[in-house]
């Protein structure tokens, strides 16, 4: 399966490297092909500022991946469960499963 990884931290002083290393290992252990990594250093509270997330969705129009691997669901947005479900539904419309490393129960339901 083709995998994209989306990582996000809230400030420029933080790093996504810890998330990325674990997610890359998870994908490799399952024999998935890593297609692209999107890394964000921006608060998810600031509406419209997640430029990498926008770029990720633009790439999905080209059917780049089967799975979007994230560290945790709150990396997608901090606007609550409704906003998370809307984003997951958007991924589903592109035929992409969202797998959250921290909430492994999540992806088994979707």
Contacts of 8 (CB under 8 A, 6+ apart): 16, 39, 40, 41, 42, 44, 50, 52, 53, 71, 75, 76
Q: Locate the domains of the chain by residue range.
A: 2-109
Give the CATH fold of the 2-109 domain.
Answer: Rossmann fold (3.40.50)
Residue 95, SS3 per DSSP:
coil
| pLDDT for the residue numbered 71 | 93
Q: What is the pLDDT along the chain (110 residues), one digit of tens a residue?
A: 999 999 988 777 788 899 999 999 999 999 999 999 999 886 655 556 778 888 899 888 887 899 999 999 988 887 788 988 999 999 999 999 999 998 876 555 54
| pLDDT for the residue numbered 44 | 55
| pLDDT for the residue numbered 7 | 92
| pLDDT for the residue numbered 105 | 64
């Amino acid at each position: 399966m083709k995998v994209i990884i989306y990582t996000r931290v809230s400030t420029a002083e933080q790093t996504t490297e810890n998330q990325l290393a674990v997610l890359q290992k998870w994908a490799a252990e399952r024999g998935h092909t890593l297609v692209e990594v999107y890394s964000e250093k921006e608060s998810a509270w600031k509406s419209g500022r997640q430029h990498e997330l926008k770029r990720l969705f633009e790439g999905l129009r080209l059917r780049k991946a089967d799975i979007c691997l994230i560290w945790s669901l709150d990396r997608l947005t901090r606007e609550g469960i409704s906003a998370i479900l809307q984003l997951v539904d958007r991924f589903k419309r592109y035929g992409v499963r969202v797998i959250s490393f921290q909430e492994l129960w999540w992806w088994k339901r979707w």
